[in-house]
Copies of this chain bind each other. A is one copy, B any other.
């Protein structure tokens, strides 16, 4: 016997068993149906790109996490997100694209970060973007599509939305434009560390004077318990400040369009603390909390996005603003798997033919063939193991119904079925009513 190779999976990577693959496929199918319902079209890009394409466009952190190597004389790397490849794609295919370009892209990406619970080195990204439009409709379309997709997954959620124009406008007023990224990073931590620690950080790290920090917090303090209240407070603050006013009306307009597009006002909350870490957002930004009981706890944002300027500027002189968002598919899936929200089904088989004779008869195979043609997922047990073993196989695979047709059944032109869950058996069913009987048994 030859020497064995150890069957190992790389650290941070994982296999998907049928149950998990079925759940993921079902989720993706539902999400796609909503994206296409909103007019987004699919694209794909290579898993590998020139390293120069990927480098230096994200944070320094992602640069370090690249799976990078030499392929012959070429310095290449596996994509770490779908946004940089989209920018490269738009520049490469500029003349073939109809703008505004609405695309979705659901595909794996790779990051060599240290694996944590629920974080892997290979995971699915699930992105939509509209490239080449300044219209506020585009922002509303993207956020609505995300919300309807989550609804299609039967997930109660809250969209927490803000406008970068508010913060950027205010920092400008305070002559703090140059420090705006630093301020946003600090403000992003309010939920975690509280306002006092954020003040300390702004004072010590960002070297901002206490009176200016007070002014920064005047904006944050506009936060109300309802959108109406927040808008009223912002109204006051922005009086006489043009950029702030523009941010406020952008936000109001956004909420209006979203409601026209069918979003419930209840699922949108204006949250002035939402900054989104990435520097490139320039307008509407949003994050999404899961509102399912228990499930959402400690999960963080399950979908987020916003408006950005000029996505393709690294690759092209064409100026293209856009708006995009991403659903944290794997994060949702791992949360759902821990709950009972996604049934853990090991197969999509609906009925199995038991096999008790040396050779399966043409009569029995004809039954399976007819069921399949009627769209019923059917399989045949191979070999003539003991009945108990065949039932065990069906149970393990979550097959709800088994079917039997031995020589007696063939003589009388009948068949028998058994419901695995409740044990109910029915014999002598008429062969001519096969599809009807089985369809009703599995429903």
Chain A: residues with CB nearer than 8 A to chain B? 1-2, 4-11, 13-18, 21-22, 24-25, 36-39, 41-50, 52-53, 67-72, 74, 76, 78, 88-89, 91-93, 96-98, 100, 102-103, 108, 110, 112, 122, 130, 133-135, 137-138, 141, 148, 256-257, 260-262, 313-317, 346-349, 352, 360, 362, 365-366, 368-369, 372-373, 375-380, 382-383, 393, 396-397
A12 to chain B, nearest CB (A): 9
Q: Which residues of B contact A260 (CB under 8 A)?
A: 362, 365-366, 369
Q: Which residues of B contact A78 (CB under 8 A)?
A: 47
Q: Quick check: B141 and A380 within 8 Å, CB to CB?
A: yes
A285 to chain B, nearest CB (A): 20
Also in contact, A37 and B393, with CB within 8 A (given A7-B53, A7-B88): no
Q: Which residues of B contact A72 (CB under 8 A)?
A: 112
A379 to chain B, nearest CB (A): 3
A110 to chain B, nearest CB (A): 7
Q: Quick check: A10 and B372 within 8 Å, CB to CB?
A: no
Cβ contacts A to B, 9 pairs, < 8 Å: A6-B315, A18-B43, A39-B352, A39-B377, A41-B397, A47-B108, A67-B69, A137-B382, A257-B360
- A-B CB proximity, top 10 nearest: A39-B379, A69-B69, A7-B91, A260-B365, A18-B41, A13-B46, A16-B44, A262-B369, A135-B382, A21-B42
Q: Which residues of B contact A74 (CB under 8 A)?
A: 10-11
Also in contact, A383 and B48, with CB within 8 A (given A15-B89, A362-B260, A369-B260): no
Q: Which residues of B contact A22 (CB under 8 A)?
A: 41-42
Q: How far is the CA of A352 from the CA of B69 in the complex (A)?
A: 45
Residue in contact with A365 in the complex, picked from B7, B43, B261, B365, CB distance below 8 Å: B261
Q: How far is the CA of A15 from the CA of B107 in the complex (A)?
A: 13
Q: Which residue of B lies closest to A102 (CB)?
A: B379
Q: Which residue of B lies closest to A133 (CB)?
A: B382
Q: Quick check: A36 and B372 within 8 Å, CB to CB?
A: no
Also in contact, A44 and B15, with CB within 8 A (given A315-B4, A316-B4, A365-B257): yes
Q: How far is the CA of A5 from the CA of B57 in the complex (A)?
A: 11
Q: How far is the CA of A350 from the CA of B334 in the complex (A)?
A: 34
Q: Quick check: B67 and A48 within 8 Å, CB to CB?
A: yes
Residue in contact with A36 in the complex, picked from B39, B135, B257, B348, CB distance below 8 Å: B348
Q: Quick check: A39 and B91 within 8 Å, CB to CB?
A: no
Q: Which residue of B lies closest to A376 (CB)?
A: B37
Residue in contact with A37 in the complex, picked from B2, B39, B122, B375, CB distance below 8 Å: B375
Residue in contact with A315 in the complex, picked from B5, B141, B352, B369, CB distance below 8 Å: B5
Q: Quick check: B122 and A47 within 8 Å, CB to CB?
A: yes
Also in contact, A37 and B372, with CB within 8 A (given A2-B313, A365-B257): yes
Q: Which residues of B contact A135 (CB under 8 A)?
A: 382-383
For A11, A349, A379, the residue with the greatest tally of chain B CB atoms inside 10 Å of its CB is A379
Residue in contact with A137 in the complex, picked from B98, B360, B372, CB distance below 8 Å: B360
Residue in contact with A261 in the complex, picked from B45, B48, B71, B369, CB distance below 8 Å: B369
Q: Quick check: B8 and A53 within 8 Å, CB to CB?
A: yes
Q: Which residues of B contact A91 (CB under 8 A)?
A: 7
Q: How far is the CA of A9 from the CA of B14 in the complex (A)?
A: 28
Also in contact, A7 and B315, with CB within 8 A (given A15-B43, A39-B378, A47-B108): yes
A212 to chain B, nearest CB (A): 31
